[in-house]
Amino acid sequence: MQSTGFDGNWQVRHLDSDEAFTPVTLPHDAMLYEPRLENAPGGTNTGWFDGRDYEYIRHFTPGEDLRDDAIILEFEGVYRLAEVFVNGRKAGSCDYGYSGFTVDITELVAIGKDNEIRVVAHNADQPNSRWYSGAGIYRPVTLWTGPREHIRFEGIGVRTISTDPARIEVTLQTTGAGSAYIEIFEGKQDTDTPASERITSKASGSMPSVASANCETDEQGNATVMLDIPNAQLWSPEHPNLYTCQVRYQAEHGETTADTASTTFGVRTLAWGERGFLINARRTILQGACIHHTNGILGAAAFPDAERRKVEELKAQGYNAIRSAHNPCSKALLDACDELGMLVLDEYIDHWYIHKTLYDYVDYFSANWRGDLAAMVSKDRNHPSVVMYSIGNEVSETAEKKGIALTRSMVDLLHTLDPSRPVTCGINIFFNFLSSIGFGVYSDKKAHKEAESEAGERPPELSREDIVPGACGFNRRKPAG
């Protein structure tokens, strides 16, 4: 499918307010423009920023060329409890603030007419994080369009089977039966050029493919193909060589237009055991650091340049690995890690079913963890920089029988979704010991107590005379005097 940036021409305001909308360009951290209050419920966790709910709107008019196309919106990250409406009708939602998600709006938009996209993000229920989370649509949004019969979103998977010879497994997921032509090219894909044009120009001889294959997808749209890559340049932290897998798909029935898609990958193997952690059969010591998703004074907004700068700075200081503490990271960060040779421990979450803060994700975890893990793997599986998954951080639930069983279930699911990577979990043995004797560092009761002691009473509502417009159209307390 064809991707189009959808970050411009948005407007935002506080939810359920009579404020005027303020124009913004995504990615946008709405929390960064809130006042910092002495008794903010998030307290030290969020730097005393107030928490609010927000609504974003964007209007667009799809042209006649899209009348017969599938139209899908991709949200890379909305913090949090996101709801998406199209022309007043709810089209989709995502509870976890760090998961990417898509919304199929094909049947909800009117071709040739003005359509309103409305996104609601909830962050007023504080505290909900142990660090500054930011809020709103803090990662990019992309519009995907293409034939109704197409390669599914993130429907190309590439896995290295061996390096000598260099052999990869390509899996495809399409909307149904059809034929596909797979080509492998050296280097990273040019994301500024439509996939159909990239394939046409490269197939014409300006950049010949290094491997190719034809295959058929079954009635469920699935296919698996093995390809050998001659004289493959392996990916490693020292030599982060990349390849591009491009696929052209033609549906068997009812569609005359072919669909195209591509993904970047690296040829490299992982192994672990008595010899330690091996990349391409070479023992590699991880010299890593934990990083949060924020970018200093820029807040949580995931600007690609800022994400890349984090990796460059760490690489310059001698690090070869990072841990995405404590949530899945942005696509831009993983792209930078692929290109610069930074290894990634890809972490899912900070907690499971025991609260660390009063309004954190615990109430949604049990219903969503399977889908959340599937979304993380689907997004990250082709990145050679991702060498390990983590299912949690200092989760003292692992000291309980229920938690041990949950650990097994989560690990088994990840190995089913991606058998090529090891799975770990952040466990503090001392925390687990305290939890096992009834003195856990984290508990639902403690989360309630800490929220009460941090915030005390909420400040009274301000009158219109007490407030002035903020830098992003949000209300701020008027200075005294």
Tell me how far apart the alpha carbons of residues 283 and 78 are, in angstroms, rounded to a whole number: 38
Tell me how far apart the alpha carbons of residues 129 and 94 are, in angstroms, rounded to a whole number: 17
Q: Which of 262, 124, 245 is nearest to 192 (CA)?
A: 262
Question: At residue 455, does pLDDT exceed 60?
Answer: no
| Region label for 71, one of left (φ > 0), alpha (ψ between -120 and 50) or beta (otherwise) | beta
Residue 147 CA, chain-centre distance (Å), reads 25
Q: Which of 240, 244, 214 is nearest to 226 (CA)?
A: 214
Average pLDDT score over the chain: 91
Question: At residue 387, does pLDDT exceed 60?
Answer: yes
Tell me how far apart the alpha carbons of residues 93 and 83 are, in angstroms, rounded to a whole number: 4
Burial of residue 123, with CB atoms counted within 10 A of its CB: 0-12 exposed, 13-18 middle, 19 or more buried: buried
Which pLDDT score, from 0 to 100, does residue 470 have?
40
Spatial contact of 217 and 174, defined as CB atoms under 8 Å apart = yes
Spatial contact of 207 and 185, defined as CB atoms under 8 Å apart = yes
pLDDT band at 302 (very low <50, low <70, confident <90, very high): very high
pLDDT band at 60 (very low <50, low <70, confident <90, very high): very high
pLDDT band at 375 (very low <50, low <70, confident <90, very high): very high
pLDDT band at 193 (very low <50, low <70, confident <90, very high): low
By three-state DSSP, how is residue 306 classified? Answer: helix
Spatial contact of 168 and 160, defined as CB atoms under 8 Å apart = yes
Dihedral in degrees, nearest 10, Cα atoms 206, 211, 213, 219? -100
Q: Which of 85, 102, 119, 114 is nearest to 1 (CA)?
A: 102
Which pLDDT score, from 0 to 100, does residue 110 have?
98
pLDDT digits (tens, 9 = 90+) for 134-176: 999 999 999 999 999 999 999 999 999 999 999 999 999 999 9
Which pLDDT score, from 0 to 100, does residue 435 have?
85
Which pLDDT score, from 0 to 100, does residue 398 have?
95
Which pLDDT score, from 0 to 100, does residue 233 have?
98
Token pair, residue 53, equals 């709910």
Burial of residue 20, with CB atoms counted within 10 A of its CB: 0-12 exposed, 13-18 middle, 19 or more buried: exposed
* Residue 141 parent element (H or E): strand 141-147
Question: At residue 207, does pLDDT exceed 90?
Answer: no
pLDDT digits (tens, 9 = 90+) for 415-454: 999 999 999 999 999 988 988 888 878 888 888 888 777 6
pLDDT digits (tens, 9 = 90+) for 399-418: 999 999 999 999 999 999 99
* Interior/surface letters 396-426, b for 16+ CB within 10 angstroms, e for the rest: bbbbbeebeebbeebbebbeebbeebbbebb
Which pLDDT score, from 0 to 100, does residue 453 have?
72
Average pLDDT on 307-314 reads 98
Which pLDDT score, from 0 to 100, does residue 478 have?
41
